[in-house]
Structure 1
Amino acid sequence: MSSRDTTPRRAWLGFTLVLGLVALVAMDGSVLYLAMPGITEAITPSAGQALWILDIYGFVVASLLIAFGNLGDRHGRLRFLLGGAALFGIGSAGAAFSPSPELLIASRALMGLGGATLLPSGLAIISNLFPDPKQRARAIGIFAATFAAGFAVGPVVGGLLLNHFWWGSVFLINLPIVAVFLAFAPVLLKEVREALPGRVDALSVAQSAIGILLAVYSVKAAAAEGISLHQVVAGVAGVGILWWFVRRQLTLADPLLDLTLFRDRVFTVAVLTGLLSLVAWSAAGYLSGVYLQSVLGFDVLAAAFLALPGAAVLTAACIGTTGVVDRIGKRSALIASHFFMGTGLLLLLLAGVSGGAVAYVASTVVAGVGYGLSFSLVAETAVAAVPQERAGSAGAIAEMSNELGNALGISLLGSLAAFLFRLLGPGTAGTLDETLSTPGLAAETAAQAKDAFVTGLHTAIGVAAVLTFALGFLAVRWLPREERSEKADPTRHQEQDLENV
C-alpha cells in the first residue's frame, strides 16, 4: 500500500486517540449528576461540599484553558497533551477511592488541571493531522459531535455503572482510555508548536482563577449557610480581583483574554450563547438527577434510561447542525437554539412532587435540539465574527465559555435551589438527600422537604429559561442577516479556525 494511502489511516487512528480524551473531558463535566445521591450516602458531604464536588472540575478547566493553550503553542501541544492525560488519570484514580469529601474535591481539581490541557492541545493536533481542508472540516464536525455527546451521555453512563458498581466506578472508566492514549500517542501523533510573540502573563492566570473561585465560594456559602462575615469578604475580594484582571487585560500587549473581541456584537452573542446554554444544561441535569431519584423515587438505572431520549436528540442535533444551517442559515439556526432551549426548560416546570417523569423527558427532548445546535455553532460563529489573525483567541474564548458555563450552572443556579431548600425546607439537614436519610423521619417532614426541593428546582430552571429567551431576542436584534453564499458553505470558517489555532 502506498504512503499516500497509509497516511490518512494513520491520521484517523491518531484522531481516534484524541477523541477518546475529548469524550472523557466532556463526560466528566456531567457524569456525577446521577451519582451524587450515592456519593452523599457514602462520604456525607455538606451542601456546599456537594456543589464543589460537582463543579470544581469545570472551574479549574475554564480558568486555565486559555493559559494552557498559549503554553502549549510555545512548548509543544503533544507534550501538554501527554502531561494532561497523565494528570487526568491520576486525578481519576484518586477520586475513585476518595474516603472524604475534601479528597474528592482535590482529586476533581487535579482532573480539571489535566483537562485544561486537553481541549486546546487536541484541536491543534487535529490541524496537524489533517492538512486537507475537506478532511479537516469533517474532523471538526466529529470533534464537536464527540464533545456534545460526551456531555449528553455522561449522566447515562454514570447511571449504568452505578446500577452495578460503587460510585467510584464513574472515575475508574477513565483509566483504560488514558492508558491507551499514553501508550500510542507518541507513535501516532506528532509534536505541534508555534513561535508566538510575548509570554503568558502568570499574574493574569492567578487573577482569573482566584477571582472566580472566591466569588463562587461566596455565592455557595450564602446559599448553604447564610450571610456571614467571611462569606461577604470572600465575595468582595473575588469581585475586586476579577475587576483587576479585566483592567490588566486592557493594558497588556499580549493579554491572556482578549477583551477587545467583545466589541463585536456577533462574537458577544456567540460567547454568551456558549456560556448560557451550558449554565442551563448543567443546572437542569444536576437538579433533575436528584429530582428523579430522591423525589420521584426512581433507582439510578431507571433515571439513566429516562435521560436517554434527551441525550440521543442532543447528539443527533449536534451532528445534523450542518444540514440545518444549509437549509435555514447559521443566523436562524443559532437564534432557534435559544428558543428550543427556553421552551424545553419551561416544560420542566410541569414536573411536580409526583408524576413528573413525562415532563422531564419532554423537557430534555425539546431542549436537546437547542443544546445540540448551540454546541455546534458557538465556536464557529465566534471565529467567523473576528479577523482571521485573531481566530485562535476567539476559539479559545468560545471553548472557555462552555466550560465556565457548565460550572456556573451548578454553582449559581444550584446554589439558588439550595438556598430555597434551606429557606422552605424542614431544617432537618442542608440537602434533600441528607434530610430523607435522617433516621425516624416523619412522612410530613419528608413531604415538606420534597416540596421545598421542587420549588427550588422550578425557580432555578425558571431563571435559566428567562435568561435563555432574553438572549434569543437579543440575538434576533444583534445578529446580521447573512448572504446566501455564507449559508451554502458552513464549514468555511471552521477550516479557518483550525488553520489559526
Structure 2
Amino acid sequence: MTKTPRRRKGGAPSDLRAWLGLLIVLGPVLLVSMDGSILFLAMPRVSQALAPSADQALWILDVYGFAVGSLLIAFGNLGDRYGRLRLLLVGATVFGLGSVGAALAPTPELLIAARALMGAAGATLLPSALAVLSELFPEPRRRARAIGIFAAAFAAGFAIGPVVGGVLLERFWWGSVFLVNLPVIALFLVFAPILLGEVRATRPGRVDVLSVATSAAGLLLAIYGLKHLAAEGTSPASLAALVLGLALVAWFAARQRTLDDPLIDFSLFRDRVFTIAIITGLLPLAAWSAIAYLAGMYLQSVLGLDVLRAALLALPGAAVLTLTSIVTPAVVDRVGKRAVLVTAHVAIAVGLLLLLATTVGGGTVWYVLSAAIAGIGYGISFSVVADTAVGAVPPERAGSAGAIAETSNEIGNALGIALLGSLAALVFRLQGPGLAPTLDETLHLPELAGAAALEARTAFVGGLHLVAVVASALHVVLGAAALRWLPRPRPRDLREVPDGVLGSTAEGEVDDHGAGV
C-alpha cells in the first residue's frame, strides 16, 4: 500500500529542476510500457532466428508483463521502506542489463529469462516514479499536470512500441529492439541523482514475501497450463499446472484477508464502481495487446508485408490512442467519467469487429480503421482508470486503489497475449494443416505445398477473427455494466485539484483532473 511520501528537506524544488526531473523520469516510464509491446512486429524475425515453440513464443511476449504485474505492488512497498530514488536507480540498472541479455540471447529459453529480468526491473520503476513526482511537484495543480503527462507517456509507450520495433528491424537485427533502451537508461542513471530527491514513507508497510511468491507462481503455472492445452492438447502435465496455479491464486487471495499490509486489498472490490474501473484497466489492454500481436503476424506472415510497412500501418492507431489519452481528462470535465468509459467500451467493441473484414487476400484498410476506432477507447481507458478506481474508495485507501489500478494494466497486457493468444493458437491447431504448431513454423517448412500454406494462413485469420469477436463481446458486457452501475455526474460549484499522488479533494472526493496509468 502506498504511504504518504515525506519530501526532501529544503522546500519545493525550483521550476526548472522539477520539469527537468519529470523529463528524466519519463524516460524509464516510456521504456517500461514500450517494452510491453515492442516485440509485436518483431516476433516473426525472432521466430526465424531462434525457432521458439508455440508456447515459448507466447512466453517471450508475455513473461515481461507477468513479471511487472506480479511484482508491482511488492516493489512499491520496498520503495516505501528503502527509498524510491534508490529503487529507481537499481531498477534502471537491472533493466539495462536485462536488455543487453535479451538482445544477445542465443536461445528462446535465455530470451524468456532476460525478458523476465526486465519485467522484474520494470516493476520497480512505475510506483517509484509516481512517488518521486510528488516530491518534485508539491503544489497540487502542477502535480496534477505532471501526473497527466506521466499517464500520457505511459499510454504512448504501449502505442508506439510496435512502430519503434518495426522501424529498427528495417535496418538492424531483431536484438536492436532491446538495445534501444540503453541510451535512455544511461541518461537516467547520470541525471537522476542530480535532479531527483529521495522519497520514503513515514511508516512503510511490511512486504509479505510469501504472498509475492505465491501470486507470481500461481499466475505463471496457470498460464503455462492454459498455453499447453491450447497449443498441444490435453496432457497430465498441463492440467496439473493449471489446477496448481489456480489453487495458488485462490490461496493468495485468501491470505490477503489475514494480513495487516496485504499486497492487494480485495475488500475494495465490494464497491461496484471500483470493480468496473479495475476490469476496465485490465480488459482493454488485454484486447489491445492480443490484437496488436496477432495483427503484426497477419500483416507480415499472411499478407507478406515487410516490417517497415507494417509499422507504418500501425501509426494511425498509435496516434489516435496517444492523442485520446491526452485530451480525455478535459473531456471528462465536461461529460463525466460514466459517459467516457461507456464510449471507450463501445469504440473498442466496434473497432475490433471491423477486423472481421480482413481476409487472406487483403485487409490493410480494415486493419487501419479498426486500430483507429478502437484506439479512441484504449486511450480513454488508459487515461481515467486509476482516477476512477481511487474515486470509488475512501481517501485513506487511495494508495492501495491506485496500486491495484496500475497492476491491472500490466496484468491485462500479459493476459491478453496469454489467454487470447492461446485461443488463436487453439484455432490454428484445430483448423490448420497440422504440420507445425505455429504459422511461421508451417510457412518455413521445406517443400510446403501451396494448398497447405493457404490452409495455414486461413486458419490463422480464423483465430484472429475469433479473438476479435470474443474481446468485442466482453467489452459490450463491460460497457453495459458501466452504464448501469457507474454514477451519473453531479454538478459541482467548486472543483479542487487533487492533493495526493493520485488525488483527493478537501471533501474526500477524487477530482476529475487526476490521471493515472
Tell me the TM-score range normalised by the shorter chain: over 0.9
Q: Any conservation in 2 of the 1:53–1:108 contact (CA below 8 Å)?
A: yes
Structure 2 CA distance, aligned partners of 1:375 and 1:205? 25
Say which of 291, 312, 318 aligns to 1:311: 318
Name the structure 1 match of 2:256.
249
* Correspondence for 2:342: 335
Work out whether residues 335 and 489 of structure 2, in 8 Å CA contact, stay in contact via their aligned partners in 1: no
Structure 2 partner of 1:229: 236
Q: 2:470 aligns with which of 463, 467, 489?
A: 463
Contact 2:219 2:245 in 1 (8 A): yes
Instruction: State yes or no: 1:413 paired with 2:420.
Output: yes
CA deviation map 1:40-84 (0-9, x unaligned): 000100000000000000000000000100111111001110111
CA distances 1:75-108 after superposition (whole Å, capped 9, x unpaired): 1001110111011000000000111000000000
Which letter does structure 2 place at the counterpart of 1:97? L
Question: Which one of 383, 386, 389 corresponds to residue 379 of structure 1?
Answer: 386
Q: Offset at 1:355? A: 1.7
Deviations, residues 104-162 of structure 1 (Å, cap 9, x unaligned) = 00000000010000000000000110011111011011001000000000000000000
Q: CA deviation at 1:164?
A: 0.5
Structure 2 unaligned blocks of 5 or more: 1-9, 505-509
Q: How does 1:144-293 map to 2 (within 5 A)?
A: 144-196=151-203, 198-293=205-300
Aligned residues: 498
Instruction: Report the CA distance between 1:6 and its aligned residue.
Output: 7.8
CA distance in 2, matches of 1:368, 1:420: 26
Aligned equivalent of 1:54: 61
Whole-angstrom distance in 1 between the partners of 2:515 and 2:421: 39
Equivalent in 439, 443, 447 of residue 436 of structure 1: 443
Q: Any idea what the Cα deviations from partners look like across 1:249-290, whole Å, max 9, x if unmatched? A: 111122111001111111100000000011100011000000
SS in 1 for 2:414: helix
Q: 1:414 and 1:45 mapped to 2: Cα distance?
A: 15
Q: Which residue of 1 aligns with 2:486?
A: 479
Return the alpha-carbon distance in structure 2 between the equivalents of residues 112 and 300 of structure 1.
25
Which residue of structure 1 lines up, in the alignment, with residue 373 of structure 2?
366
More helix by share: 1
Per-residue CA deviations over 1:364-418 (Å, capped at 9, x if unaligned) read: 0000000000000000101111111111100000000000000000000000100
Match of 2:455 among 424, 448, 451: 448
Cα distance change, pair 486–268 in 1 and its aligned pair in 2 (3 A): farther
Provide the C-alpha distance between the structure 1 equivalents of 2:119 and 2:76, rounded to a whole number of angstroms.
14
Contact 1:329 1:487 in 2 (8 A): no
- 1:403 matched to which residue of 2? 410
- After superposition, residues 60-209 of structure 1 pair within 5 angstroms as 60-196=67-203, 198-209=205-216
**1:325-378 C-alpha deviation (Å, 9 max, x unpaired):** 122112111111111111111111111112210110000000000000000000
Runs of 5+ consecutive residues of structure 1 not aligned to the other structure: none
Partners of 1:137 and 1:490 in 2: how far apart?
7
**What is the deviation of 1:490?**
7.8
Q: Compared with structure 1, are the counterparts of its residues 486 and 339 closer, same or farther at alpha carbon in structure 2 (3 Å cutoff)?
A: farther
Contact 1:62 1:403 in 2 (8 A): yes
Find the partner of 1:495 among 491, 499, 503.
503
Q: What is the DSSP-based 3-state SS (H/G/I as helix, E as strand, rest coil) of the residue aligned with 2:437? A: coil
CA 1:230–1:328: 2 relative to 1, 3 Å: same
- Determine the C-alpha separation between the residues in 2 that align with 1:103 and 1:488: 52
Offset at residue 323 of structure 1 (A): 2.1
Question: What residue in structure 2 maps to residue 389 of structure 1?
Answer: 396
TM-score of the superposition, structure 2-length normalised?
0.94
Q: C-alpha distance in 1, partners of 2:74/2:333?
A: 35
AA of the residue aligned to 1:419: L
Q: Do the aligned residues in 2 keep the contact of 1:283 with 1:461 (CA within 8 Å)?
A: no
What is the TM-score with the length of structure 1 in the denominator? 0.97
Secondary structure at 1:93 match in 2: helix
* 1:350 corresponds to which of 337, 340, 357: 357
2:393 counterpart SS class: coil
How far apart, CA to CA, are the structure 2 residues paired with 1:17 and 1:451? 46
| CA shift for structure 1 position 491 | 6.0
Conserved? CA contact 1:127–1:499, under 8 Å: no
Deviates more, 1:341-350 or 1:168-177: 341-350
Q: Distance in 2 between matches of 1:290 and 1:487?
A: 51
Are the equivalent residues in 1 in contact too, given 2:12–2:137 (CA < 8 A)?
Answer: no
Match for 2:26: what amino acid? L
Structure 2 Cα separation of the partners of residues 216 and 485 of structure 1? 46
Alpha-carbon RMSD across the aligned residues, in angstroms, is: 1.8
CA distance in 1, matches of 2:442, 2:263: 44
Shift of 1:198: 4.2
The residue identity in structure 1 corresponding to 2:440 is D
1:484 is paired with a residue whose SS is coil
Distance 1:6 1:208, change over 3 A: closer
Relative distance call for 1:233 and 1:135 in structure 2 (3 A) is: same
Compute the displacement of 1:489 (Å): 6.3
Equivalent in 419, 422, 431 of residue 424 of structure 1:
431
The separation in 1 between residues aligned to 2:322 and 2:418, in whole angstroms, is: 25
Amino acid at match of 1:477: R
Query: What do the CA deviations read for 1:234-256 (whole angstroms, capped 9, x no partner)?
Result: 11100111111111111112211
Structure 1 residues 499 and 252: alpha-carbon distance in aligned structure 2, compared to 1, 3 A threshold: farther
Amino acid at match of 2:119: G
Equivalent residues of 2:218, 2:248 under 8 A apart: yes
Counterpart secondary structure, 1:255: coil
- Relative to structure 1, the CA distance from residue 339 to residue 63 in structure 2 (aligned partners, 3 Å threshold; closer, same or farther) is same
Measure the CA separation in 1 of the matches of 2:96 and 2:272. 40
- After TM superposition, give the deviation of residue 485 of structure 1 in Å: 1.9
Question: Residues 487 and 266 (structure 1 numbering): CA distance in 2 closer, same or farther, change over 3 Å?
Answer: farther
Q: In the aligned structure 1, how far is the partner of 2:31 from the partner of 2:19?
A: 18
Alignment correspondent of 2:507? none
Partner SS, residue 237 of structure 1:
helix
Letter in 2 for 1:406: N
Superposed displacement of residue 196, structure 1: 2.3
User: In the superposition, relative to structure 1, how do residues 490 and 437 fare at CA in structure 2: closer, same or farther (>3 Å)?
Assistant: farther
1:366 counterpart letter in structure 2 = I
- SS of the residue 2:36 aligns to: coil
Tell me the SS of whatever aligns to 2:404.
helix
- Alpha-carbon distance, 1:486 to partner: 8.8
1:4-24 per-residue CA deviation (whole Å, 9 max, x = no partner) reads 998110111111111000000
2:28 is aligned with 1:21: yes
